[in-house]
Structure 1
Amino acid sequence: MEKRDKRKHPFTLRVSILFLLIFFLFTILIFRLGVVQILNGDSFQAEIDRTTQDTTKMPVPRGRIYDRYHRVIVDNQPLYAITYMPAKGVQAQERLEVAEKLSTFISMYHGKNKQAQLDTLTLRDKKEYWYLKHIDEAKKRLMEKEVASMDPSEQYSTILKRINKEEVNDITEEQLNIILIKKELDKAMTLTPHIVKNEGVTPSEFAKVSEHLHELPGINATTDWKRAYPYGDTIKKLLGSITSHKEGILKDKKDFYLTRGYSPNDRVGKSGLEEQYEAVLRGRKEQMKYTINKRGEIVDSNIVVEGQQGKDLVLTIDIALQEKVDQIVRDELKAIIKKYPYENRHMEDALAVVLNPKTGELLAVSGQHYDRKQNAFRNTAYKALYDQHIPGSAVKGATVLAGYQSAVIAPGDTFYDKPLKIKGTPEKSSYTDSSLGLLNDQDALKRSSNVYMFYIALRMGGEYHYQYNQPVTFQKEAFQEMRNYFSQFGLGVQTGVDYPYEGTGYKGPNPVAGNLLDFAIGQYDTYTTMQLAQYVSTIANDGLRVRPHFLKEIRLPNPSEKQLGSLFKSVNTDVLNRVEMSQSQIKRVQEGFRRVYQEPGGTAYREFGDKSYNPAGKTGTAENEINGNYTENLTLIGYAPFDHPEVAFAIVVPHTGKGEHVNNKIGERIMDAYFELKEERREPKDKEQTE
Structure 2
Amino acid sequence: MFKGPTTIRDHSFEANLFARRAFIAFIFVLALVAILFINIYQLQVTSHDNYQTRSNDNRIKLVPVAPNRGIIYDRKGVILAENKPVYNLEAISENIKNLDNSLKELTKLLNISEQQQTNFLNDIKHNRRFKSQILKSRLSEKEVALFSVNQHKFPGFKIEARLARYYPYGDTLTHALGYVAKIGKKELLKLNSENKTKNYGASRDIGKLGIEKFYEDTLHGTVGSQKIEVNNRGRVLRTLNFTPPIPGQDLVLTLDIGLQQAAQEVLKGMRGAITVLDAKDGGVLAMYSNPSYDPNLFVHGINSKNYKKLLNPDKPLINRATQGRYAPASTVKPLFALLGLNEGAITETSKIYDPGFFQIPNVKHKWRDWKPWGHGTKADGYKVDVYKAIEQSCDTYFYDIAYRLGITKISDFMAKFGFGEKSGIDIFEETTAILPSVEWKKQRFKEGWYAGDTISVGVGQGYWSATQIQIANAINILANKGVHNPPHLVSVTKQGSTVNLINNDEKEPIILKNLHYWDIVLNAMHNTVKKTSGTAHEAFKGVNYDPAGKTGTAQVVKIAQGEKYDEKKLKEKHRDNAMYVGFAPFNDPEIIIAITVENTGGGSSVGAPMARKVMDYYFANKTKELAGTP
Normalised by the length of structure 2, the TM-score is 0.76
The offset of 1:680, in angstroms, is 2.4
Tell me the distance in 1 between the aligned counterparts of 2:180 and 2:226.
25
The offset of 1:196, in angstroms, is 2.8
2:534 equivalent to 1:602: yes
Tell me the distance in 1 between the aligned counterparts of 2:103 and 2:197.
36
- Contact 1:287–1:305 (8 Å) recurs in 2: yes
The equivalences for 1:163-242 within 5 A come to 188-189=127-128, 193-197=131-135, 199-203=137-141, 206=144, 220-242=158-180
The offset of 1:272, in angstroms, is 1.7
Tell me the distance in 2 between the aligned counterparts of 1:48 and 1:416.
95
- Contact 2:275–2:284 (8 Å) recurs in 1: yes
The offset of 1:277, in angstroms, is 1.0
The offset of 1:361, in angstroms, is 0.5
Give the aligned partner of residue 456 of structure 1: 401
Of the three residues 624, 627, 630, the one matched with 1:683 is: 627
Q: 1:30 to 1:435 in 2, by over 3 A?
A: closer
**What is the identity, as a one-letter code, of the residue corresponding to 1:413?**
S
Tell me the distance in 2 between the aligned counterparts of 1:532 and 1:281.
30
Tell me the distance in 2 between the aligned counterparts of 1:576 and 1:41.
68
The offset of 1:351, in angstroms, is 1.4
- Secondary structure of 1:314's match? strand
Tell me the distance in 1 between the aligned counterparts of 2:40 and 2:198.
47
The offset of 1:268, in angstroms, is 1.3
- Secondary structure of 1:353's match? strand
- Contact 2:199–2:222 (8 Å) recurs in 1: no
Q: 1:296 to 1:633 in 2, by over 3 A?
A: closer
Tell me the distance in 1 between the aligned counterparts of 2:327 and 2:43.
86
Moved more, 357-366 or 603-612: 603-612
2:618 equivalent to 1:674: yes
Give the aligned partner of residue 492 of structure 1: 420
Tell me the distance in 2 between the aligned counterparts of 1:214 and 1:110.
15
Give the aligned partner of residue 97 of structure 1: 97
The equivalences for 1:585-624 within 5 A come to 585-624=517-556
The offset of 1:184, in angstroms, is 5.1
Q: 1:455 to 1:208 in 2, by over 3 A?
A: closer
Tell me the distance in 1 between the aligned counterparts of 2:102 and 2:144.
11
The offset of 1:194, in angstroms, is 2.0
Q: 1:278 to 1:78 in 2, by over 3 A?
A: same
- Contact 1:98–1:216 (8 Å) recurs in 2: no
Give the aligned partner of residue 480 of structure 1: 408
Moved more, 608-617 or 644-653: 608-617
Listed one character per residue, the Cα deviations across residues 322-378 of structure 1 (whole Å, up to 9, x for unaligned) are: 011100111xxx4xxxxxxxxxxxxx512111111221100111122399x999998
Give the aligned partner of residue 275 of structure 1: 213
Tell me the distance in 2 between the aligned counterparts of 1:279 and 1:535.
31
- Secondary structure of 1:527's match? coil
Residues paired across the two proteins, number: 558
- Secondary structure of 1:404's match? helix
The equivalences for 1:397-546 within 5 A come to 397-419=334-356, 420-422=358-360, 423-437=362-376, 438-460=383-405, 478-508=406-436, 509=441, 511-524=449-462, 525-546=464-485
Tell me the distance in 2 between the aligned counterparts of 1:116 and 1:109.
16
- Contact 1:269–1:275 (8 Å) recurs in 2: yes
- Contact 1:389–1:654 (8 Å) recurs in 2: no
Give the aligned partner of residue 5 of structure 2: none
Tell me the distance in 2 between the aligned counterparts of 1:378 and 1:70.
31
Tell me the distance in 2 between the aligned counterparts of 1:491 and 1:116.
45
Listed one character per residue, the Cα deviations across residues 107-162 of structure 1 (whole Å, up to 9, x for unaligned) are: 49956x724335x38xxxxxxxxxxxxxxxxxxxxxxxxxxxxxxxxxxxxxxxxx
2:178 equivalent to 1:250: no
Tell me the distance in 2 between the aligned counterparts of 1:548 and 1:33.
76
Tell me the distance in 2 between the aligned counterparts of 1:447 and 1:37.
98
Q: 1:617 to 1:484 in 2, by over 3 A?
A: same
- Secondary structure of 2:454's match? helix
2:496 equivalent to 1:567: yes
Tell me the distance in 2 between the aligned counterparts of 1:370 and 1:296.
46
Tell me the distance in 2 between the aligned counterparts of 1:183 and 1:393.
53
Q: 1:30 to 1:520 in 2, by over 3 A?
A: closer
- Contact 2:271–2:314 (8 Å) recurs in 1: no
Q: 1:254 to 1:443 in 2, by over 3 A?
A: same
- Contact 2:411–2:435 (8 Å) recurs in 1: no
Give the aligned partner of residue 646 of structure 1: 590
The offset of 1:82, in angstroms, is 3.9
The equivalences for 1:61-100 within 5 A come to 61-84=68-91, 95-97=95-97, 99=99
Tell me the distance in 2 between the aligned counterparts of 1:382 and 1:52.
53
- Contact 2:539–2:605 (8 Å) recurs in 1: no
- Contact 1:355–1:362 (8 Å) recurs in 2: yes
Listed one character per residue, the Cα deviations across residues 448-470 of structure 1 (whole Å, up to 9, x for unaligned) are: 1122212222321xxxxxxxxxx
The offset of 1:507, in angstroms, is 4.1
- Secondary structure of 1:222's match? strand
Tell me the distance in 2 between the aligned counterparts of 1:513 and 1:108.
73
Give the aligned partner of residue 562 of structure 2: none
- Secondary structure of 1:366's match? strand
- Contact 1:315–1:551 (8 Å) recurs in 2: yes
- Contact 2:553–2:601 (8 Å) recurs in 1: no
- Contact 1:537–1:648 (8 Å) recurs in 2: yes
Q: 1:549 to 1:381 in 2, by over 3 A?
A: farther
Moved more, 388-397 or 50-59: 50-59
Give the aligned partner of residue 266 of structure 2: 328
**What is the identity, as a one-letter code, of the residue corresponding to 2:480?**
N
- Contact 1:82–1:219 (8 Å) recurs in 2: yes
Tell me the distance in 2 between the aligned counterparts of 1:354 and 1:76.
28
Tell me the distance in 2 between the aligned counterparts of 1:355 and 1:102.
55
- Secondary structure of 2:291's match? strand
2:516 equivalent to 1:578: no
**What is the identity, as a one-letter code, of the residue corresponding to 1:554?**
T
- Contact 1:321–1:677 (8 Å) recurs in 2: no
Q: 1:108 to 1:531 in 2, by over 3 A?
A: farther
Q: What's the Cα RMSD here?
A: 4.3
User: What stretches of structure 2 of length at least 5 have no aligned partner?
Assistant: 1-10, 294-308, 377-382, 442-447, 559-568
Listed one character per residue, the Cα deviations across residues 463-503 of structure 1 (whole Å, up to 9, x for unaligned) are: xxxxxxxxxxxxxxx31220111111122222111111312
**What is the identity, as a one-letter code, of the residue corresponding to 1:322?**
Q
- Contact 2:291–2:316 (8 Å) recurs in 1: yes
Q: 1:302 to 1:659 in 2, by over 3 A?
A: same
Tell me the distance in 1 between the aligned counterparts of 2:432 and 2:387.
29
The offset of 1:670, in angstroms, is 1.0
- Contact 1:553–1:571 (8 Å) recurs in 2: no
The offset of 1:673, in angstroms, is 1.2
- Secondary structure of 1:588's match? helix
- Secondary structure of 1:680's match? helix
Tell me the distance in 2 between the aligned counterparts of 1:657 and 1:316.
31
Tell me the distance in 2 between the aligned counterparts of 1:641 and 1:480.
34
Give the aligned partner of residue 326 of structure 2: 389
The offset of 1:519, in angstroms, is 0.8
**What is the identity, as a one-letter code, of the residue corresponding to 1:277?**
Y
Tell me the distance in 2 between the aligned counterparts of 1:215 and 1:444.
81
- Contact 1:102–1:209 (8 Å) recurs in 2: no
The equivalences for 1:286-365 within 5 A come to 286-289=224-227, 302-303=240-241, 305-330=243-268, 334=269, 349-365=271-287
Q: 1:575 to 1:605 in 2, by over 3 A?
A: farther
The offset of 1:68, in angstroms, is 0.8
Tell me the distance in 2 between the aligned counterparts of 1:106 and 1:287.
31
